[in-house]
Amino acid sequence: MFSRRSPRPKSPVLRKAWESLDSGDVPGALRQLRAAGEEQPLGEVALVVRRAADSVGFDDLARAAAALTAEPGRAQALYDFGYACVERDVPYLAIPALRGALRRAEGSLTVLRELVSAYEREGRHGEAVTELARREGTFQDWPDRYLLVFNAVLAGDLELARRQHALLPDPEDSMWQGARERQNRVLERAADAERAGSLDLTDLRGWQYVIGGTVLGTLSPYGFTAGMNGRWAWVQDSPGQCLRGLLRLRALLAAAEVRPRSVSLLPDRDSQILGLAAAEVLGLPAEPFEADRQDTVVVAYDLDGLAVHDGGPELVGSLFGRTPGQVLHAHASCWTDPPAITPDSVGLLHQSVVAPWGEQLAQGPDGGVRRGPADDRPAAEIAAGIVGADPAPDPGDGEGPADDDAGFTAFATAVRDTWLRGDRARVRSAGPVPGSRFA
C-alpha cells in the first residue's frame, strides 16, 4: 500500500498521473501515462502503474511493477511487466518494457512474440513487421512467419505479405490450421478487392473486405480529408440512413446471387426493429432467430447491443461458425472496438452511435441541446417508418469520394466469389486505413 512517504516519480509528466491517483482517478492516470509517451524512465512508470494496479486489485500487475521498480534494467523484470500489461489490456505500457527486454534477452523469440502482441493490440502493425522482419533468419515459420504475413496485411503491405505467405509451409501442429485457412482467405479476398478498387490507404471498403470479409454498405460523407476516411466518429442515426443500409444489403445480395428465404429476427429491441424493416425491404418473411436455419439473413442493429441482451453472448457465439446460406448483417459496427464476431455485411462504421429510436439529442425550447426520450412505440410501427423513409444520402461536407449505388454494386459483383466463406472470427484491428479516434 502507498502512503505519503512512498516514493513518487520525479518526472513532471508522470507526477501528473500520480496526482490523478491522489484523487482516485485511475482512468485519468492511465490517460496521463499514454500521453507521457514511451521515453519516460521505466522504473518511474512502473511506480505509477503499481499504485494504479494496487488500487483496482490487479495483484499480478502490481507485483510485476514492483519488481521492475526495484530492478528496471533486468530483462526478466521488463518482460514480466510487459506481459502483465498486455494481459491487463494496457499494451501501450508494455511496449517500451518489452523492447528493452528484447535488447537484453538477445532476441528471445518469447519476448519478440509478446512485443508483437502488444504492437498488434495497439494497431501498430508496421512496427510489428519491422521487429519480425529483422529476425527472419532466426524465427520459426509457426508462429513467427505467420505473424509477419498477418501484420503485413494489416499494415497495408500486400507485396510483403504475399512474398512471406509463399514461404510459409502448412503447419505441422493442427492448432494452427484454422489460422492458415483464414490467412489463405484474406489473401484471396485481397486479390478480388484489388480488382474492385484502388486498395490504397483511403480505400476503406476494400480493406474492410480484405481483413474481415465484411462488405461495407455506406461511407461517412464527413471528415474524409480530416482523417475519418469514410468512418463516423459520433453519429445520430436516422430512419433514412437505416433504409439506405438495407437497400445496400439488398443490392449486395443481388450482385452476389445470394437468395435467402427469410429474415431472422434477433431478440434485442434494436435488432427486432431493423429486422422487421429488412423483411419488408427484401420481400421476405420474418422469423425468430434459430442458429441452424439455412438460407436466411440475420439482421442486427449493432452486434454490441445484442451481446448485452439476455442470452446475447450465447447467440453471438452461435454466429461464429457459418450455417449454409446464412448472411449476418449489422447496420452499425464500432471500428475502434470491433464486435466479438465479424459480420458479413455492415451498413456503417462508427465510434459511437445513437439509434433513431434512442435518446437522441435535440434543441430544447430554451435553445439549448438536451437528450430527448426514447421512442417506445411498438417495433413494427418504428420499422414501418424506416421502410417509408427517404434513403437519399447525406451530402456531407463534399470532401469525400463518390459513394453511389453503381460503384457499390460493382464492388459487390467483383468480390462475390470470395464472400461468405470461413468463420466470422473477430478482427480487433481497424486495418491499414487510418482513422481519427475521439475520447
Residue 6 has pLDDT above 80, yes or no: no
Reported confidence tier of residue 306, pLDDT bands at 50, 70, 90: confident
Same domain, 74 and 222: no
Q: If you average pLDDT over residues 385-403, what whole number do you get?
A: 93
Residue 3 has pLDDT above 70, yes or no: no
Q: Do the beta carbons of residue 84 and residue 110 sit within 8 Å?
A: no
Q: If you average pLDDT over residues 313-332, what whole number do you get?
A: 94
CATH number at residue 355: 3.40.50.2020
Cell digits of residue 314: 450465447
Domain count, the chain: 2
Residue 269: HSE in the Cβ half-sphere, 13 Å Cα cutoff: 12
Q: If you average pLDDT over residues 200-208, what whole number do you get?
A: 97
Asked which of 122, 150, 178 is the last residue of a domain, the reply is 122
Residue 313 has pLDDT above 90, yes or no: no
CA–CA separation, 17 vs 14, rounded Å?
5
Residue 191: HSE in the Cβ half-sphere, 13 Å Cα cutoff: 8
Reported confidence tier of residue 366, pLDDT bands at 50, 70, 90: confident
In the chain, what percentage of residues exceed pLDDT 70?
A: 98
Cell digits of residue 140: 520459426
- Please indicate, yes or no, if residue 101 is contained in any of the structural domains: yes
Q: If you average pLDDT over residues 243-258, what whole number do you get?
A: 98
Q: Which of 26-40, 69-83, 363-377 has the lowest mean pLDDT?
A: 363-377
CA–CA separation, 159 vs 153, rounded Å?
9
315 vs 62, more confident: 62
CATH number at residue 90: 1.25.40
Terminal Cα distance for the chain, rounded: 31
Reported confidence tier of residue 5, pLDDT bands at 50, 70, 90: low
CA–CA separation, 431 vs 439, rounded Å?
20
Asked which of 122, 157, 192 is the last residue of a domain, the reply is 122
- Please indicate, yes or no, if residue 170 is contained in any of the structural domains: no
Average pLDDT, rounded, for the chain = 95
- Please indicate, yes or no, if residue 57 is contained in any of the structural domains: yes
- Please indicate, yes or no, if residue 184 is contained in any of the structural domains: no
Cell digits of residue 45: 512508470
Residue 244 has pLDDT above 80, yes or no: yes
Predicted pLDDT at 433: 97
- Please state the pTM of the whole predicted model: 0.94
Asked which of 90, 122, 154 is the last residue of a domain, the reply is 122
Predicted pLDDT at 439: 62
CA–CA separation, 158 vs 433, rounded Å?
14
Which residues lie closer than 8 Å to 316 by C-beta, 6 or more apart? Answer: 303, 306, 307, 339, 340, 341
Same domain, 327 and 212: yes
Cell digits of residue 154: 494489416
Predicted pLDDT at 2: 53
Q: Which domain holds residue 98?
A: 12-122
